[in-house]
Amino acid sequence: MTTNHLLRDLALAFRARHVPGRPLVLPNAWDVTSARLVEDAGAAAVATTSAGLAWALGAADGDRLDRDRALTAVARIAEAVRVPVTADIETGYAPDAAGVGDTVRAVIAAGAIGVNIEDALYGSGEGPLRAVAEQAERIAAAREAADAAGVPLFVNARIDTFLSGAGAVAETLERASAFLAAGADGIFVPGAVDPDTVKALVAGIDGPLNVMAGPGAPPVADLAALGVARVSTGSAIAQAAHAAVRRAARELLETGTYESLTGGLDYGDLNDLLGRRSG
């Protein structure tokens, strides 16, 4: 079986798990170790967090990491696990639609079968969100590149209306409709966790809705009851992991004690996990 045939099977399996009311739950990973831990916990797929991945590589989030470094990290994760991998590629690691197509080809070459593509604009001075028509072109380029490769890549169109304060339900639905028409498979609306808002988005979007959950968000069971098809955690797990580093370092340096290290993973268990082949 060729690599693309294997990716096609993984992509189809991943796509089939986006079921409203029975959401795909994705604890986001940022490196090989976190990906293996997520897989070992029973996740059906591994999703990367662009923020966590950038931080692990010493860069800030928000289109500041170059494509080659990002996708080299994605390739290492995809090689390390047997479950499908979907990559958060920020705004596409490219200035134009043609470049997004190039990125998607590189994503597939890295072994991933899904992408998140943001509609935010970083540091442009032109507003918090990309124009709908321009973003639709970028999504269409991603779709075309994946179709040409013969891989049914799951294109998750991220809409930052709520995160940026640039709109609410009506604006989100307008963007979602345009992005789905351009070739997106699902819609990701981080920042929208209020049950009434989520319910309105589920009702108004003709495709699977991805909600970003974390402290303060409804439990997965409640989101499932609202019709959500995918629940992810974004950078929250990476943030929690880095908070543990800060707590332990400060305690050791300020008080000379080690209580923050209580509850750490067993050395042997972690070493064994990374020493054996995934699956």
| CATH code of the domain covering residue 184 | 3.20.20.60
Q: What is the mean pLDDT of each run of 10 residues along the chain (279 residues)?
A: 81 98 98 98 98 98 96 98 98 97 98 98 82 98 97 98 96 98 98 98 98 97 98 98 98 98 96 85
Q: Is the dihedral of CA 261, 262, 263, 265 positive or negative?
A: positive
Report the distance separating Cα 265 and Cα 11, nearest Å: 32
Q: Is 223 within the bounds of a domain?
A: yes
Report the distance separating Cα 208 and Cα 230, nearest Å: 7
Closest CA to 104 of 158, 145, 157: 145
Q: Is 91 within the bounds of a domain?
A: yes
Read off the amino acid at residue 139: I
Q: Is 251 within the bounds of a domain?
A: no
Longest distance between any two alpha carbons in the chain, whole Å: 59
Residue with tokens 């800030």: 60
Tally the domains of the chain: 1
Query: 112 φ, ψ to 5°?
Result: -95, 155
**What is the rounded (10 degree) CA torsion for 103, 187, 234, 122?**
60
pTM (two decimals): 0.96
What is the domain extent for residue 18? 3-234
Q: Is 43 within the bounds of a domain?
A: yes
Q: Is 245 within the bounds of a domain?
A: no
Q: Is 226 within the bounds of a domain?
A: yes
Buried b (16+ CB within 10 A) or exposed e, 53-86: bbbbeeeebebebebeebbebbbebbebbebbbb
115: Cβ contacts below 8 Å, ≥ 6 apart = 86, 87, 88, 89, 104, 107, 142, 153, 154, 155, 156
> Residue 124: what pLDDT?
66
How far, CA to CA in Å, does 16 sit from each of 24, 122, 152, 182, 220?
Answer: 9, 33, 11, 20, 19
> Residue 1: what pLDDT?
43
> Residue 2: what pLDDT?
53
Q: Is 256 within the bounds of a domain?
A: no
How far, CA to CA in Å, does 191 sit from each of 40, 127, 208?
Answer: 28, 18, 16
